[in-house]
Copies of this chain bind each other. A is one copy, B any other.
Amino acid sequence: MIQEGSRVLLLTERKKRYLVRVKPGVRFHTSEGYIDLSELIGKRYGTRLTSNIGSVWFALKPTILDIIMKMPRPTQIVYPKDLGAIITLGNIRPGSRVLEAGTGSGVLTAVIASYVMPDGIVYSYDISEEYLENARKQLDELGLLPYVVLKQGDVTARIEERDLDTVVLDIPTPWLAVQNVYEALSDGGIFISLSPTIEQVIETVDAIGSNGFADITTIELLMRTLRVKRGMTRPDHIMRAHTVYITTARKVCRDSLSY
């Protein structure tokens, strides 16, 4: 049931999405007309609305991903298509101990936190106090702060944690952090790095290949949406052609057995 203070995702007839918080006496205006938010109070999620100019909307219950993707973004964010791959390829699960750098907008932090909870933890480093402060507010509002330790610091200089399950780097020079990541990971721990350019990937793969990692893989994901309508079905005309390359590797050790 939608209540005063509830968050609602408004999906308009033209497929626009607005995340609003329900307050009495507030009109929410869009290019497709307005609705009075107070009218939502007491209604079920999924209620159908008609704006003052006749546009049909739905008042959806936002998923945590909906909310996260609407967070203010001081920095470039990770795209939804890549988030699932990071979670599964990174073996990030309830209970995992994960380090992430940089915190940036906190979007990836929030997603990871929502998958390691209730028993796991995310250590999230950023060099910018301002980004950390912004992320703290967002995570707090999302109820995810208990699962996150925000740390001001530079992972290319120092990582304090040990025995981590996964380290996710979303920084410009991941190759400079490889030795620190090695020390911080548990045996069998997983390294993931996100980089937009191919030169960053080459540097990173070079560094991990000579610093105690194996099973190194770099992928890119392309997501295509379809317009499905009987008799008129086709892929949509435009798609995102690139976001980041995702490189994964596993920590290995050096004591050798020969036969």
Contacts and interface: CB of A to CB of B under 8 A. Distances in A.
Interface string A62-89: 0111000000000000001101111111
Interface of A: 11, 33-36, 39-40, 43-52, 58, 60-61, 63-65, 80-81, 83-89, 91, 93-95, 111, 114-115, 117-119, 187-188, 190, 196-199, 201-202, 205-206, 214-226, 228-243, 245, 247, 250-259
The binding surface of chain A is classed by DSSP as mixed
A196 B232 CA distance: 8
B197 A232 contact: yes
B222 A255 contact: no
Contact of A252 (B48, B91, B215): B48
Number of copies: 4
Contacts of A217: 225
A199 B47 contact: no
Q: 7 tightest CB-CB pairs across the interface, nearest first? A: A84-B84, A61-B188, A239-B241, A46-B252, A235-B242, A84-B88, A63-B91
B242 A240 contact: no
Contacts of A247: 228
Contact of A197 (B51, B219, B234): B234
Given A58-B215, A61-B187, A47 B252 contact: yes
Contacts of A197: 231-234
Contact of A43 (B34, B88, B257): B257
Contacts of A256: 47-50
